[in-house]
């Protein structure tokens, strides 16, 4: 009892020290929250926005997909900019310049989205969403790389989960902000500018991006830890030997694979849930929206849980757990095709001919498990990935990581529905493939668990192995040369004679 009372003040003191040490956190919280609001506030109004400009409905998937394509490119480009500017510019000017440049790109994309309404150009909406994707992809990459450069490895996963909580909160609150603009109807004039329910979200995002830029200029200095600064200088001078000596590339590739699997299952889930629920269970749009509201709250709760679980369990253990949860969710969502109707099948079990026998409880539990697995896996994988990378600028690698995660969200809107229609709205192919991916990821993670250790730990282990090897060689040189048993027996017999 006394031990617990002694530990609690230490934890509280460490938390206060962490908050005082990282004064950039409130700026990141604000930027992440409103960057995610900017995505979710647009989605409900995007279809009517382009249709009032004369665009057909089949143009919508392209506008949705180009955003994720922009995220892929933005993660890679701004990851490279972050890393190079880190190595070239003194102090914290590299991260600061990268972040400001990224927000300026977001400002341009937001302005393009607003202007598209004035000139009635759906193609300008298309390019605006692509530029906004560049912004959000780049901002995610810079924030995660900077977090790795200022936070000790013990706290990276916890802070990643904290940032993710603000991201999830932004996704949840986005439609609420959008609902405020629904009362504008067909439009009101504010001076020469017309505001309506369709362009108001874009104008709101533009204003928020301006505030982001001002706050970042005022509060973000880009300073990093001294060891990271030295590593960046060494890398800039072409000496990266120390950075990669203890780095496990096997661990990095495993993290990339797991990150892809989690994003793939999430992309499939968010794409097919609405049409699947309406097709199998005759759900109304209101019921589907309530399901996604619950999913958002569950994601937020999961991110908060990860924050505290990292203080108790190893990151690699939590990573394996996320794969187990995702696998269980996908297995529950795999239906079994039957040829005859099931007697007594009620709501959620309506089976006709060769329709799937996916009960409502399996659908809801499987949906919930995948919803939990995604933020769990995303946060922990980013933390493990950062720790395996070790010291030095991580912008380029983080860019690759986030680009890998954006690939499924780019292809998902096109492939997921097509697969469902090809197998007559049965889920065994869709979620069966997800289950296989999770199973492969789980087997690989368990087999190569030692490669998911932090870079510093691997470097220490490498030094220990080298030291043992050197001692064994010295012992071999100092010891008399071993003789074969036959030679020993022959020598003994000669001495007896």
pLDDT given for residue 353 in this prediction: 47
> Tens place of pLDDT for every residue, the chain, 497 residues?
444 444 444 444 445 555 555 788 899 999 989 988 888 888 777 888 888 898 887 888 888 889 989 999 999 999 899 888 887 877 668 888 999 999 999 999 999 999 998 899 999 999 999 999 999 999 988 988 888 888 887 788 888 888 888 888 888 787 777 777 777 766 677 777 777 777 888 889 999 999 999 999 999 887 876 766 666 565 555 555 555 555 788 889 999 999 999 999 988 888 888 888 888 888 887 788 788 888 888 988 998 898 889 888 888 899 999 999 999 999 999 987 654 434 334 434 444 444 446 888 999 999 999 999 998 998 899 888 888 887 766 778 888 988 998 888 887 767 777 887 787 778 888 899 999 999 999 999 999 988 887 766 545 544 444 455 555 555 555 555 444 443 343 444 434 33
- Which pair of tokens denotes residue 141? 């990459």
Beta bridge partners of 195: 188
pLDDT given for residue 495 in this prediction: 40
pLDDT given for residue 323 in this prediction: 96
> Closest Cα to residue 34, out of 167, 194, 201, 164?
167
Q: For the chain, what percentages of helix, strand and coil (3-state, to nearest 5) are there?
A: 80, 0, 20
pLDDT given for residue 284 in this prediction: 83
Distance from the Cα of residue 27 to its chain's centroid: 20
pLDDT given for residue 77 in this prediction: 93
Residue pointed to by tokens 């301006």:
210
Angle between helices 285-309 and 360-389 (to 10 degrees): 40
CA–CA separation, 432 and 438 (whole Å): 10
**Phi/psi of residue 455, each to 5°?**
-55, -45
DSSP 8-state assignment for residue 337: B
CA–CA separation, 441 and 319 (whole Å): 10
What domains are defined for the chain? Answer: 22-239 (1.20.1250.20), 240-467 (1.20.1250.20)
pLDDT given for residue 112 in this prediction: 94
- Which pair of tokens denotes residue 71? 């995220």
pLDDT given for residue 340 in this prediction: 43
- Cα-Cα-Cα-Cα torsion 358, 360, 365, 366, nearest 10 degrees, comes to 30
Half-sphere exposure of residue 294, counting CA atoms within 13 Å on the CB side?
12
pLDDT given for residue 278 in this prediction: 83
Dihedral sign from CA coordinates of 339, 344, 350, 356: negative
Dihedral sign from CA coordinates of 462, 256, 261, 290: positive
Beta bridge partners of 193: 190
Dihedral sign from CA coordinates of 345, 348, 351, 356: negative
H helix count then E strand count, the chain: 18, 2
Angle between helices 60-88 and 93-119 (to 10 degrees): 160
Query: Per this entry, what is the length of the chain?
Result: 497
- Which pair of tokens denotes residue 128? 């605006």
DSSP 8-state assignment for residue 479: S
Please calculate the CA angle 125-414-265 and round it to the nearest 5 degrees: 110
Using DSSP's 3-state secondary structure scheme, residue 273 falls into: helix
């Amino acid at each position: 009892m006394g031990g617990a009372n002694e530990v609690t003040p230490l934890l509280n003191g460490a938390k206060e020290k962490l908050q005082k040490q990282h004064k950039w956190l409130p700026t990141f919280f604000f930027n992440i929250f409103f960057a995610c609001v900017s995505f979710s506030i647009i989605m409900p109004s995007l279809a009517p926005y382009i249709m009032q400009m004369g665009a057909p409905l089949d143009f919508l998937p392209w506008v949705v997909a180009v955003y994720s394509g922009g995220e892929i490119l933005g993660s890679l480009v701004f990851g490279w900019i972050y890393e190079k500017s880190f190595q070239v510019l003194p102090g914290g000017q590299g991260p600061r310049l990268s972040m400001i440049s990224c927000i300026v790109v977001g400002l341009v994309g937001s302005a393009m989205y607003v202007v598209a309404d004035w000139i009635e150009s759906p193609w300008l909406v298309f390019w605006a969403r692509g530029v906004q994707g560049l912004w959000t992809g780049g901002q995610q990459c810079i924030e995660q790389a900077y977090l790795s450069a200022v936070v000790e490895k013990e706290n990276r996963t916890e802070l990643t989960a904290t940032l993710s909580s603000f991201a999830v909160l932004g996704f949840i609150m986005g439609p609420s902000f959008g609902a405020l603009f629904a009362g504008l109807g067909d439009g009101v004039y504010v001076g020469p500018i017309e505001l309506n329910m369709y362009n108001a979200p874009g104008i709101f995002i533009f204003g928020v991006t301006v505030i982001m830029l001002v706050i970042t200029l005022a509060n973000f200095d880009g300073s990093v830890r001294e060891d990271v600064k030295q590593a960046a200088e060494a890398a800039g001078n072409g000496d990266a030997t120390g950075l990669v000596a203890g780095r496990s590339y096997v661990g990095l590739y495993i993290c990339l694979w797991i990150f892809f699997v989690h994003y793939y299952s999430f992309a499939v889930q968010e794409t097919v849930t609405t049409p699947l629920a309406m097709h199998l269970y005759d759900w109304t749009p209101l019921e589907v929206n309530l399901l996604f509201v619950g999913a958002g709250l569950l994601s937020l709760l999961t991110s908060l849980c990860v924050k505290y679980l990292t203080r108790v369990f190893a990151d690699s253990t939590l990573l394996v757990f996320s794969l187990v949860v995702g696998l269980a969710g996908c297995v529950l969502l795999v239906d079994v095709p039957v040829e005859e109707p099931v007697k007594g099948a009620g709501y959620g079990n309506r089976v006709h001919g060769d329709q799937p026998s996916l009960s409502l409880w399996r659908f809801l539990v499987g949906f919930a498990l995948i919803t939990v697995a995604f933020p769990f896996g995303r946060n922990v994988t980013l933390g493990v990935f950062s720790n395996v990378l070790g010291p030095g600028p991580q912008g380029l690698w983080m860019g690759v990581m986030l680009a890998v995660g954006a690939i499924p969200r780019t292809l998902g809107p096109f492939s997921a529905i097509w697969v469902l229609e090809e197998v007559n709205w049965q889920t065994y192919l869709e979620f069966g493939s997800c289950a296989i991916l999770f199973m492969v990821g789980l087997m690989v993670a368990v087999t190569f668990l030692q490669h998911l250790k932090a870079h510093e730990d691997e470097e220490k282990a490498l030094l220990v192995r080298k030291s043992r090897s050197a001692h064994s060689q010295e012992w071999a040189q100092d010891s008399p040369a071993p003789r074969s048993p036959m030679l020993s027996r022959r020598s003994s017999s000669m001495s007896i004679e």
